[in-house]
Structure 1
Amino acid sequence: MFSLYQKLNDDVEISGIKYPLNASFDVILKLIDLLKEKRLSDINKLRISIKLVFGRDTELSELSLETQAEAIRQVFDKYLKDSKADKPVKRDLQGNIMPELEEDEKEILYSINFDAEYIFASFMQAYGIDLIEQQGQLHWFKFKALLAGLPEGTKFQQVMSIRSWEKPSKSKDAHETQMKKLQRIYALPEEESEVI
């Protein structure tokens, strides 16, 4: 959780040992994509997740699958889990808890992957931040806060405004026709359904 008065502690504690992790925005985005990957088994997802988040040389990769699953669950709870929803827990073949991305019930207006160019351009426009140069540096919580605070004049906010536009009345006019055309142009593909 993002806090203005607490230092960001990017580690998890397993059996009294703290394991440092990389919580930069690009690593967390890769983790999200990995968790949604359908071609990998749960065990392979777990092993790749450990190396992605904790580094290739982490001692966690030598511990039991249950311990590794607990470490990833802590990462998921700390960085990705929406505290508002309590969904049933999914388990892998060995009974280990597997993290799962929670979906918001409201309409999804953006996709980090599909809208990457708009997000990149908007960060440059609004903050002068080059997200490519910030890979491995910009913390996930900071990224989320900056994304949520993008001003209306940015391309990302314009596209979100178009996607969320609804006809104000039953009258059909040129504005409605134009907005519906823009909604089709900027619509997300069906397979994009991530929530952050």
Structure 2
Amino acid sequence: MLSLTHSSPDEFIYKDKSYKVDLAFDTVLLYLQLQQDEKLSPFEKWLQSCKLFFGSQKLPSDPKFYESAFRQIQAIITDNPYGTEEIEKDGGVEATKQFDYVRDAGAIYASFFEQYHIDLNKERGKMHWDTFKALFDGLGPKTYFQRILQIRREDPTKIDDPKARQELYDSQNYYAVDGAKTGQERTAQALNNSALGSAFKSLFEDAEKGGN
């Protein structure tokens, strides 16, 4: 969560030693996408996740380090100052099915440029996830991204005019997330992936057995 009095976290302290953590918005989005790649094994996801967040730093051979580090990273990524949003069910699209960071990348980019005059391509590797999330949540109703969300939320069955109702159906089909997991669902699944947690432990258990 963004703070006006403290810098956004960019390090992880473990046993009195500091490790730099890359929490740029594009790194976090790559991480969330990585967890959805069914072609990769849990071990491969674990390795690539470590490279994304810690780069080429020498990391300890201690499972507790990774458990603690990813628990802290999870807390940062999922933190919401206003709590969890309720799921809206009123004939339209549920709140958790409204957007996808990959599918809606163009709309998000255009909306940041439109409202904040920020070129996200130039912010890769620089803008912290906390900053990105605060700006993302603050996108106004007239931005391209929010207009798409509004189309997805509307309930066509409440429109009496057949032509207008069909136009909304067509628009919803055009802007549909195509069954892809949404931003909230990606976050929830990626950060609660028990297979990754198991990979952390089994990796070092094997290493310890091999060293005995």
Residue 160 of structure 1: how far off its partner (Å): 0.7
In structure 2, the CA distance between the partners of 1:27 and 1:54, relative to structure 1 (3 Å rule), is: same
Q: After superposition, where does 1:156-171 map in structure 2 within 5 Å? A: 156-167=145-156, 169=158, 171=160
Q: What is the distance in 2 between the residues matched to 1:16 and 1:34?
A: 30
Q: Please give the alpha-carbon distance, in whole angstroms, between the structure 1 residues aligned to 2:37 and 2:102.
A: 14
Structure 2 CA distance for aligned equivalents of residues 148 and 81 of structure 1: 12
* Distance in structure 1 (CA, Å) of the matches to 2:167 and 2:118: 32
Structure (1/2) with the larger helix percentage: 2
Q: CA shift at 1:115, angstroms?
A: 0.6
Shift in CA distance, 39/73, structure 1 to aligned 2, threshold 3 Å:
farther
- Is residue 10–residue 20 contact of structure 1 (8 Å, CA) maintained in 2? yes
* Consecutive unaligned residues in structure 1, runs of 5 or more: 86-104
- Tell me the matched-pair count: 175
| Aligned pairs (5 A) from 1:111-130 | 111-130=100-119
Matched, 1:189 2:188: no
AA of the residue aligned to 2:42: D
Could you tell me whether the CA contact under 8 Å between 1:49 and 1:72 is conserved in 2?
no
Give the corresponding residue for 1:94. none
Give me the identity figure in percent: 28
Report which structure shows greater RCO (CA 8 Å, sep ≥6). 2
Conserved 8 A contact 2:114-2:143 = yes
2:78 to 77, 80, 105: 80
Q: CA offset at residue 130 of structure 1?
A: 0.7
Match of 2:199 in 1: none
Distance 1:32 1:117 in 2: 18
Query: Match for residue 12 of structure 2?
Result: 12
Q: Is the 8 A contact 1:46 1:69 kept in 2?
A: no
Amino acid at match of 2:43: I
Which of these residues, 142, 150, 165, is aligned with residue 139 of structure 2? 150
What is the CA–CA distance in structure 1 between the aligned matches of 2:95 and 2:147, rounded to whole Å?
19
Q: Residues 49 and 170 of structure 1: is their aligned pair in 2 closer, same or farther, counting only changes over 3 Å?
A: closer
Task: Tell me the distance in 2 between the aligned counterparts of 1:118 and 1:22.
Answer: 25
- Over the aligned positions, Cα root-mean-square deviation in angstroms equals 2.3
Asked whether the 8 Å contact 1:12–1:75 carries over to 2, the reply is no
CA apart distance, 1:168: 7.3
TM-score by length of 1: 0.78
| Per-residue deviation, residues 5-56 of structure 1 (Å, max 9, x unmatched) | 2222221222222212111100111111122332222222222211110112
Cα distance between partner residues in 1 of 2:3 and 2:97: 26
Query: 1:173: how far off?
Result: 3.9
